[in-house]
Amino acid sequence: MNIDYVATTIAVLTFFGIWSLMAISLNIEYGVAGIPNFGKALFVSIGAYTTGVTYTRLLPILAGRDFIHPCGSTLADAIQLRSDIIRTMPVVAFVNFGITLVIAAVISGIIGFAFSYLVLRLKEEWFLALVLLVGGEIVRIFVRGYQPLICANNGISAVSQPFAFMGGRSASIAFLMLVLLIAFIAYVYSERLIRSPYGRLLKAIRENEDIARTLGKDVAKTKAQVMFIGSMIAAISGVLFAVNLGFVNTNDYVVTLTLDVWVMVVLGGLGNPKGALLGAFVIAVLDRLTAIAAIQMNMAGFNLEFNFVRFILFAVILLLMMRYRPQGILPEPNYTTEAHDNLTARTTGD
């Protein structure tokens, strides 16, 4: 065994940060507001595809260079241009990265907002889950076959993270810090959201829409707002996912990505932002540990193909978890307000 603990930790934490953004967004949508977003892959992919587009179109403009067509015969030149700019003009790389985050978040937020109005037309709530699941695949098939966006199924490579100019380990550490910072902001935001009166409204809608409506709350609008926020966070995670990988390709944003995020949230605890973080952490660690176990078992001469067993293990853990601890590792805490405390104190006579 020759484990580079530092590098492994950086890698696992980076994935943890990116996945926890996805988990936080789903936790707000489903855990708090009860919207079954089975289209995580769709909103994450919007972030990634936006990255592909801005890195090939916007980046050269910002750097004052000529546009080179990213597909076909000029592909190698276009890649060379991107790496040059990112490595030698860090300011341009950062501006481009920041603009990418904003554009991705806005586009994805609007699409999420639009989707939420579809809910109203749907007969049963779980149909939304299906529409979103399938919507992700429709977009994927379209992008895969449509050259102008990200060179169809060829994808866009050399979409490096903005710290790449630092090179080596410091670049990965800097990027990790950025990812963790964004994840932390999202976490604090969702924590405060839940504790706010607005958060209580969301939970009221989750528990009983009709009562919320009777109390004069605009359920449709509220749900749309939640989808807007959730989709924005998902798209931001998509941008980070793409630049961490350095490659945008439709093969990554499939149904299994959505399922992974669901597993994180259910595992961690629905309705609890700490649960979303924990779920993402457990999956990030478990994914790496089982991969390491597969390598080591293979090196030790086991013939059993542990790579298959990994997936079986994931599914079994998920089932056991949902069966014996359906509220997740960290259950939703019972937030109370001061007013509520006073009221309880008065009625129970304490």
Partner 1 sequence: MAKRLSLLISLLLLIMIALPVQGQDDVETYVLGVAQPFTGPLGSFGTDFTRGIELAVMQMNAELEASGVNIRFEVASADTEGTPDGAARAVQTIVQTTGAEVIVGPLTTSEVLGAKQFADENGVVIVAPASSGIPGAIPGDNIFRVMYPPDNFAALAFAEIARSRGYENIAILHVDDPFGNGLAERFTIDFQAAGGGEVTTIAYSPEPPDLSGEATALSADVAQLSGSGNTAVFCICFLADAQKLLQVAQIDPILTTVEWMGVENLVSPDLLADAGHAQFLQSVNFISVSFTDTATPLTSPFIESFTAEYGDPPGPFTNYAFDAANIAMLTMLAAGNDGDAVTGMLPFVANHYIGTSVQAYLDDNGDQAIAFYGIFRVADDASSFIEIGTYNGSTGLLEMNE
Partner 2 sequence: MFERILIDSLIRSMQVGSLYALMALGITLTMSVLKLPNFAHAEFVTVGAYTALIVSRNVSTNPIIILGLSAIVASVVALVSHITVFRPFEKQKSSIYIMLLASFAVGLIIRYVLFLTADTFDLFDQRIQVPLEIWYRTDNFILSNVFFWVVPTSIVLVIALSLLLNATPLGREMRALADNFDLARVIGIPVERVKWLTWLLVGALAGISGALWGIQTSVSPLMGWVVILSVFAAAILGGLSSFPGTILGAYVVAFSENTIMQVLNFQFGLSFSFKPAIPFIIIVIVLLIRPEGFTQFFKSNRSLKR
- Encoded one letter per residue, x for contact with partner 2 by CB under 8 A and - for no contact, window 5-34 reads -------------------------x----
d(CA 106, CA 115): 14
Residue type (1 letter), 173: I
**Residue 277 contacts by C-beta under 8 Å, 6 or more apart in sequence?**
20, 23, 24, 183, 187, 268
* Cβ contact 56:78 at 8 Å: yes
Identify the residue whose tokens are 């936006």. Answer: 50
Helix (H) or strand (E) holding 247: strand 247-248
**Residue 267 contacts by C-beta under 8 Å, 6 or more apart in sequence?**
278, 279, 282, 283, 317, 318, 321, 328, 329
319 binds partner 2 (CB under 8 A): yes
Q: Which does 298 bind (CB under 5 to 8 A by kind): partner 1, partner 2, none?
A: partner 1
- Encoded one letter per residue, x for contact with partner 2 by CB under 8 A and - for no contact, window 125-164 reads -xx-xxx--xx-xx--xx-xx-------------------
259 binds partner 2 (CB under 8 A): yes
- Residue nearer to partner 1 on the CB measure, 120 or 289: 289
User: SS3 of 248, please?
Assistant: strand
- Residue 247 forms beta bridges with which residues? 157
State the residues that interact with partner 1 by CB under 8 A: 1-4, 7-8, 11, 15, 72, 75-76, 79, 141, 144-145, 151-155, 157-158, 160, 164, 167-168, 171-172, 241, 245-247, 249, 251-252, 254, 282, 285-300, 305, 307-308, 310-311, 317, 320-321, 324-325, 329
- Residue nearer to partner 2 on the CB measure, 135 or 273: 135
DSSP state, 64? T
CB atoms under 10 Å from CB of 244, counted, come to 20
Q: Which residues bind partner 2 (CB under 8 A)?
A: 30, 36, 38, 118, 121-124, 126-127, 129-131, 134-135, 137-138, 141-142, 144-145, 259, 262-263, 266, 305, 308-309, 311-312, 314-316, 318-319, 322-323, 326
